[in-house]
A and B are shown apart, each in its own frame.
Chain A
């Protein structure tokens, strides 16, 4: 689950980390009142949306008066923001953050994330802030420092010194950096973050370090205990994706025209791969879960056929614990119930597969049976061409 900048900064500020003074507004009409509650009248209006690269895309505007701030807020809130990180359709701007603007002398990069190979949190630091870190990693990998704090202990003085040396910070600034790293690491653990990226971490003209922008992702498996973060687990999902999740199914919309319904995440990916391998384009990833019940299958048909680009549906079920005849009955009932008109290719495998296939053949429905996954993919692709 991703947090918006204002939600992340509320968490950082609460943890005692130095973030610029700011106030959040959900409508332009709140701007003039909001600015009365803060110490600044000049600053930036920042679009709250799930993307980086907002500045260059017109999502961050400098203002020198409350009127100007209000105008920018009116312009920004509700718009589709297109940046180099989004597709051409852009992402929705939910609200705006009014923030005091400082003068940055230098911009650094600081992030904490999971290193899967080392099974350890990783603190990543670079003197080249304000730019895409992946670009830095590719072009000048020696400009990135990786630190691994020891489990169950505070970040060691040794690591903090390494970080300060790498950024050429001494004295008071070295102390500030050490403090920031420690507090951010505490937040990372306590808030079940999977990524906190501070870019940039700015050195201001009054010789202070300040966290100017923040990307904050919370581990999806820990949302149940991180509700106070204010994040919305469905914020980045479309309606169909939200609907699927209510039924315990995992659904992701894609750009193709072949709908897929599969049990198991690995097999669902493999099904998409087979479609592509045979020259087709999958319209979605859909894992109906280990026990494909009739209710889930019916719902899955509704969701897939709700995507008007879909021309054909491929059902690929490996009946393990669930028997194929039960699944076949479920598919037939679901097709009848949902009045599905699209051609349907079904590949069943597992317990009682022969009975299952017979049920489908005798249903009188327009269902094409497939022998294996490749056969299913080929048949589906040929139907759509």
Chain B
């Protein structure tokens, strides 16, 4: 089961002929993802490292039955690439590209309202279903098939959570990086709904950061709808106001978007919040143990519970 990405995923890469595009297409293929080709209008009909290159997404879908696209197209053209994928009937669009202008994303958001396509990102590490398939740039080897679903706005913090849940023996179903931009596709709440409905996912890790109010909305949802144990971490409690911390979306404006408000909302919803990023795995163990009455991790002696 898991969510979004699985053995039925048929992946194409828009921007496959670029250095990063090709590198990560190969890594996805090695991990087990069914990569069926890529798109570059100037190199249609050729092959690159064995992957067929198509002139546009429609042709790629027609020839290969692709249902998922990974986007590495440079920022000024990336919004058009997302719309092209949706227009061609791609079900899941994962936009890795960083730096897409907000105005372009308005257009994407508006277009997707009338479409069945799901967008993840932009400016995200992508999605990995442990030991099955990955779409994106996450290091595959840190994942281990298991029971935790992970959703995160930050790339490297996704890896932290994956790594820690692997070490503790809990493992993951799927890890989803939703990206650090102010306008993005799936939000925390959308992914949490999917994990809540997924029978394989027994527990959820939510990783947020300062800026916006995605986490507050997710907390509201968790409070009234989610029975699975949830652990969380919010990055940026030490960040100064008004400064953009790397991610375009990670900025505290006025009194909005602070780590404090997010942590409080999550705690009110019964979520176990880790106070440092090193404690995410441990808080997940505690949340599971509190709910089920027994320890699920393989490091019980370390559990401070």
Q: How far is the CA of A134 from the CA of B252 in the complex (A)?
A: 14
Contact B100 A221 (CB under 8 A): yes
Hey, which chain A residues are within 8 Å of B88, CB to CB? none
Contact A114 B182 (CB under 8 A): yes
Contact B245 A269 (CB under 8 A): yes
Q: How far is the CA of A201 from the CA of B269 in the complex (A)?
A: 43
Which residues B230-252 have CB closer than 8 A to chain A? Answer: 233, 235-240, 243-250
What sequence of 0s and 1s flags, for each residue 135-165 of chain B, a beta carbon within 8 Å of any chain A beta carbon? 0011101100000000011111101100100
A309, CB-defined interface residue at 8 Å = no
B99, CB-defined interface residue at 8 Å = yes
Hey, which chain B residues are within 8 Å of A321, CB to CB? 23, 27, 137, 139
Contact A152 B276 (CB under 8 A): no
Contact-residue size bin, chain B (C-beta under 8 Å from the other chain) = 35 or more
A318, CB-defined interface residue at 8 Å = yes
Hey, which chain B residues are within 8 Å of A263, CB to CB? 156
Contact A374 B276 (CB under 8 A): yes
Contact B245 A275 (CB under 8 A): no
What sequence of 0s and 1s flags, for each residue 276-319 of chain A, a beta carbon within 8 Å of any chain B beta carbon? 11000010010100100000000000000000000000000011
Hey, which chain B residues are within 8 Å of A114, CB to CB? 102, 182-183
Contact B103 A267 (CB under 8 A): no
Contact of A320 among B142, B153, B212 (CB under 8 A): B142
Answer whether A267 and B101 are a contact pair too, CB < 8 Å, given A117-B213, A272-B239.
no
Q: How far is the CA of A272 from the CA of B240 in the complex (A)?
A: 11
Answer whether A318 and B209 are a contact pair too, CB < 8 Å, given A114-B102, A273-B277.
no
Contact A264 B102 (CB under 8 A): no
B254, CB-defined interface residue at 8 Å = yes
Which residues A317-334 have CB closer than 8 A to chain B? Answer: 318-321
Contact of A290 among B155, B236, B245, B248 (CB under 8 A): B155
Q: From residue A260, how far is it (CB to closest CB) to chain B in Å?
A: 11
Q: From residue B184, how far is it (CB to closest CB) to chain A in Å?
A: 9
Hey, which chain B residues are within 8 Å of A152, CB to CB? 110
Closest to A189 in B: B103
Answer whether A373 and B277 are a contact pair too, CB < 8 Å, given A117-B212, A285-B239.
yes
Q: How far is the CA of A262 from the CA of B159 in the complex (A)?
A: 14
What sequence of 0s and 1s flags, for each residue 245-282 of chain B, a beta carbon within 8 Å of any chain A beta carbon? 11111100011000100000000000000011111000
Contact of A277 among B154, B155, B244, B276 (CB under 8 A): B276
Hey, which chain B residues are within 8 Å of A151, CB to CB? 106, 110
Hey, which chain A residues are within 8 Å of B276, CB to CB? 270, 273-274, 277, 373-374, 377
Contact A266 B110 (CB under 8 A): no
Closest to A134 in B: B254
Contact A221 B102 (CB under 8 A): yes
Q: Which of A116, A151, A269 is the most central at the interface, judged by chain B CB atoms within 10 Å of its CB?
A: A269
Q: How far is the CA of A26 from the CA of B65 in the complex (A)?
A: 62
Contact B244 A274 (CB under 8 A): no
Hey, which chain B residues are within 8 Å of A375, CB to CB? 278
Contact A266 B238 (CB under 8 A): no
Q: How far is the CA of A276 from the CA of B236 in the complex (A)?
A: 11
Contact A116 B238 (CB under 8 A): no
Q: How far is the CA of A70 from the CA of B162 in the complex (A)?
A: 63
A165, CB-defined interface residue at 8 Å = no
Contact B180 A192 (CB under 8 A): no
A254, CB-defined interface residue at 8 Å = yes
Answer whether A266 and B101 are a contact pair too, CB < 8 Å, given A114-B182, A274-B277, A372-B278.
no
What sequence of 0s and 1s flags, for each residue 231-275 of chain A, a beta carbon within 8 Å of any chain B beta carbon? 000000000000000000010101000000011111111111111
Contact of A265 among B233, B247, B254 (CB under 8 A): B247
Closest to A150 in B: B110
Contact of A282 among B27, B238, B246 (CB under 8 A): B238
Q: How far is the CA of A6 from the CA of B69 in the complex (A)?
A: 45
Q: Which of A114, A137, A270 is the most central at the interface, judged by chain B CB atoms within 10 Å of its CB?
A: A270
Q: Which of A116, A224, A267, A268 is the most central at the interface, judged by chain B CB atoms within 10 Å of its CB?
A: A116
Contact B238 A374 (CB under 8 A): no
Q: How far is the CA of A4 from the CA of B138 in the complex (A)?
A: 41
Contact of A270 among B100, B163, B235 (CB under 8 A): B235
Hey, which chain B residues are within 8 Å of A267, CB to CB? 154, 156-157, 160, 235, 277
Known: A222-B102, A269-B210, A320-B138. 5 other contacts (CB 8 A): A117-B212, A266-B152, A268-B245, A269-B246, A275-B238
